[in-house]
Amino acid sequence: MTRSRRPGAGAAARLAPVGGLVLLLLALVVAPAAAKLPDPPQLTARSAAVFEASTGEPLYGEDAGQRGLIASTTKIMTALVAVDELPLDRVCAAADYRPSPLETQIGLRPGERMSVRDLLRALMLPSANDAAEALAVCASGSRAAFIDAMNAKARALRLSGTRFSTPVGLDSPTNYSTAADLARLGIALRRNRFLARTVDLPSAALTTGAFPRTVVNRNGLVQRVGWVNGVKTGHTNAAGYLLVASGTRRGMTFVASVMGTPSESARDSDALALLRWAFRTHRFATPIRSREAFASARLKYRPEDEIALIATRTVRELIRRDQRIRLTVDAPAELQGPLPRNAVVGSVTARLDGRTIATVQLVTRTAVPEVGLLERAGDAIVRPGSLIAIVVVIGGATALLLRRHGARRRRSRADMEAA
């Protein structure tokens, strides 16, 4: 039998078994379809992408696989390799790096000693090139070895459109990536707690080194928009303006990347528009929760007792706000003991647009007792059908006895008359 629940009804609503061996439930688990969702924004960027952070699922891309120069967004990978290789409290000597006057730097002198923690803050907030070089040499012993580690990390992250030839990000035809890969890099960085906290800082004080320094985050969205929490800017004349931006609201985090925008304001506007679009059009649904009851079964021979059938795990799915998840419950209407607690007796299946998302086992919340012979007999007696049968049997037996008694009386009378 199939039953439907009102849209928006809690998935924990109790379902009494309704006869037959199997109970099927078809339920709408999300609210009714809302108004038409907005289209993706119009962008100035040459390429762009937006992903959901916890699943790594791409939501939208515009030439997202097109390779291009990436400027200082390169430093996302520099940071990831550095934290793989170096403890935060390690003190590194600054490399003999001689930046051009136009390069961003914090003025490290060759041999100046600074902690990895402070070098990473200098790397990610003001985008200091001298900090990048110091980390590279400290982590791998040489710039070339560090670049090899960057490319190995890119392969491990399956960034097929990415290659590195510098830890800094100065223009090079062999240092490139794609909007999709940059978004994936931003997601990878956010999985490191220290780096995720760092890119969300408006500014930071560097207390190690030859003298105290204060650095400011070049990502203006972190400064101006409360829910934006990263990740990294980039700019050269050839690459244009780039930004990998992340934002968290209502328990969801999205990461957007834009490449080749014509100005800093366009860069910020494009990234913010992508993040806002993602929040407006997507959400997480939790159609199945662990230990939630999706059906109940009667106890055979004791129909007044019911056993709740509960899910064994939680299912959480990213969906568009106009999508609905349907549940189908396959469970028995009746159970016969003995069965232990958590015995598998059924399943609940979640489907989205005809595609199966997950099938979760249903188990008994409590043990199912065995019903004794006397109780079984009692149950058989009190059932309406059984009572009718008993009345019919007793009536038939009584009629037979009366007929036999009458026959004996007639034979006795006949014997007396014959005598």
What pLDDT does 145 receive? 98
User: Final residue of a domain: which of 342, 364, 386?
Assistant: 364
Active site residue 54: no
Q: Which amino acid is at 64?
A: A
Residue 228 domain flag? no
At 303 the pLDDT is 86
153 flagged as catalytic: no
pLDDT (tens digit per residue) in 57-78: 999 999 999 999 999 999 999 9
Domain boundary residue, one of 335, 364, 393: 364
Number of other CB atoms surrounding residue 34 within 10 Å:
9
Chain-wide mean pLDDT for the chain? 87
Residue 360 has pLDDT above 50, yes or no: yes
Mean pLDDT along residues 6-10: 34
Judgement on whether residues 164 and 196 belong to the same structural domain of the protein: yes
pLDDT (0 to 100) of residue 406: 59
Q: Is residue 253 part of a domain?
A: no
Do both 114 and 187 map to the same domain? yes
One domain, residues 310 and 202: no
- Predicted local confidence at residue 302, as pLDDT: 87
Catalytic residue among 47, 115, 127, 246: 127
Q: In what order do the strands lie in the sheet with 58-62?
A: 58-62, 47-52, 252-261, 240-249, 228-236
Note down the domain range covering 382.
Answer: 375-402
Structure tokens belonging to residue 365? 């919340």
pLDDT at 402: 60
- Looking at the fold, whether 28 and 112 belong to one and the same domain comes out as no
Taking residues 376-383, what's their average pLDDT? 53
What is the dihedral angle through the alpha carbons of 376, 380, 382, 386, rounded to the nearest 10 degrees?
180
pLDDT at 99: 81
94-103: pLDDT as tens digits: 999 988 888 9
Q: What is the pLDDT of residues 11-54, one digit of tens each?
A: 333 343 333 344 454 444 444 445 789 999 999 999 999 999 99
Residue 263 maps to a domain: no
Pair (338, 213) in one structural domain: no
Query: In the predicted model, is pLDDT for residue 414 greater than 70?
Result: no
Same domain, 293 and 394: no
Quick one: 323 and 381 in the same domain?
no
Domain count within the chain: 3
pLDDT at 371: 76
Q: How far from the centroid of its chain's Cα atoms is residue 278's Cα?
A: 15
Q: Which residues pair with 302 in a beta bridge?
A: 299
**The domain boundary residue, chosen from 190, 221, 252:** 221
- What's the CATH number where 335 sits? 2.60.410.10
Q: What is the pLDDT of residue 373?
A: 63
Q: Which band of pLDDT confidence, cut at 50, 70 and 90, is reported for residue 209?
A: very high
Whether residue 381 is found in the same domain as residue 291? no
What percentage of the chain carries pLDDT values higher than 90?
A: 76
The pLDDT assigned to 5 comes to 34
- Residue pointed to by tokens 């090899």: 148
Q: Say if 232 falls within a structural domain.
A: no
- The pLDDT value given to residue 100: 84
Cα–Cα distance, 124 to 243 (Å, whole number): 12
Both 103 and 27 in one domain: the answer is: no
Query: What is residue 30's three-state secondary structure?
Result: coil
- Find, among 137, 134, 158, the residue nearest to 147 by Cα: 137
Among left, alpha and beta (phi > 0; psi -120 to 50; other), residue 25 is beta
Structure tokens at 406: 């009458």
pLDDT at position 51: 98
Active-site choice (72, 115, 257, 269): 72
Residue 240 belongs to a domain = no
Catalytic residue among 4, 36, 54, 75: 75
pTM: 0.80
**Minimum mean pLDDT among 143-147, 273-277, 335-339, 413-417: which range?**
413-417
Task: Report, as an integer, the average pLDDT of 193-220.
Answer: 97
CB 185 within 8 A of CB 157: yes
The set of residues, in sequence order, having a beta carbon less than 8 Å from that of 150 and lying 6+ positions away, is: 77, 78, 81, 164, 167
CA angle 220, 121, 46 (to 5 degrees): 45
Residue 246 bears catalytic tag? no
pLDDT single digits (tens) 150-196? 999 999 999 999 999 999 999 999 999 999 999 999 999 999 999 99
- Judge whether 152 lies within some domain: yes
Within this chain, do residues 87 and 205 fall inside the same structural domain, yes or no? yes
Would you state the structure tokens that stand for residue 340, as one six-digit string?
């232990």
Residues 72 and 217 in one domain: yes
Structure-block tokens of residue 261: 């925008």
